[in-house]
Amino acid sequence: MSDVRALWEAAPQVQVFNRYGPTETTIAVTHVKLTPEMLARGPVPIGRPHPRVTFHIVDGAGQLVDSAGRIGELYIGGSQLMAGYWGAPELTAEVLRTDVVTGETVYRTGDLVYRTETGDYVYVGRADRVIKRLGVRISLVELSEAMRGLEGVTAAACVAYDDHGQLASPHSWSPTGRFPFSDLRRAAGELLPESMLPDRIEIVDSLPLTRSSKLDERRLLAGVGLVEADAAPAY
């Protein structure tokens, strides 16, 4: 949110809104007007569902969550849902579900959220970007952000890999700077608890990207001789 703060410093009169919505739900399904006080309090919410949009949170056991503060995967219902993926009925059946909420078709977003006491929803991360390590739930997105914030590190990515059939600890890469593992881990330890610290750090020249400019995890792992982990999300 540093960019938002910088914008307000330059133009205090500007109004900023946080909008959320997957393409499959015809883009925006929530929005919230940001304020300096909201940014100072902590995680910024994505707001509440727009009219004729329904939100449903499902936990790791496949049960609907009905209490505030509990994290689960977001399923979205409403008339704005897509009809399906063109020419891909099997993929459509995976994400447009009729077995979650009685009498309603909902879209499985893959996003983890929770509802606050005031009724707003807060985005936590992707369900496939959360693992459980040593009994502790870890967001690989959060870990990447923390490593990226270390002095001398301009980019980082954390990925779980397969260690002889077992889910191994997150990886972290720094494409710039030549820092020994011990120095990076020591610096990370000032920001993160021991349970979240990466066990292995690979230094690479650049992070490989897909055609859509997203991190290509498979190529990144292959480049250092590792295999992508196939693990169920932990939430």
Report the distance separating Cα 124 and Cα 152, nearest Å. Answer: 27
Evaluate whether the domain defined by 134-223 bears CATH number 3.30.300.30.
yes
Yes or no: say if 72 and 30 are a contact pair by the CB < 8 Å rule: no
Q: Give, as one character, the DSSP assignment of residue 17.
A: E
| 25 φψ region: left (φ > 0), alpha (ψ -120 to 50), beta (else) | alpha
Report the distance separating Cα 174 and Cα 207, nearest Å. Answer: 9
Hey, is 200 helix, strand or coil?
A: strand
Q: How far apart are the first and last CA of the chain?
A: 25
Residue with tokens 């330890």: 189
Domain ranges for the chain: 2-127, 134-223
pTM: 0.67
Structure token digits, residue 136: 């502790």
Per-residue pLDDT of the chain (235 residues; tens, 9 = 90+): 678 889 999 999 999 999 999 999 998 999 999 999 998 887 899 999 999 999 999 998 889 999 999 989 999 999 999 999 999 999 999 999 999 999 999 999 999 899 999 999 999 878 777 777 767 777 787 788 788 777 777 788 888 877 765 556 666 666 666 667 677 778 888 888 887 877 678 888 788 888 877 788 888 888 888 877 765 555 5
What is 2-127's CATH topology? Answer: Luciferase; domain 3 (2.30.38)
Structure token digits, residue 63: 């049960």
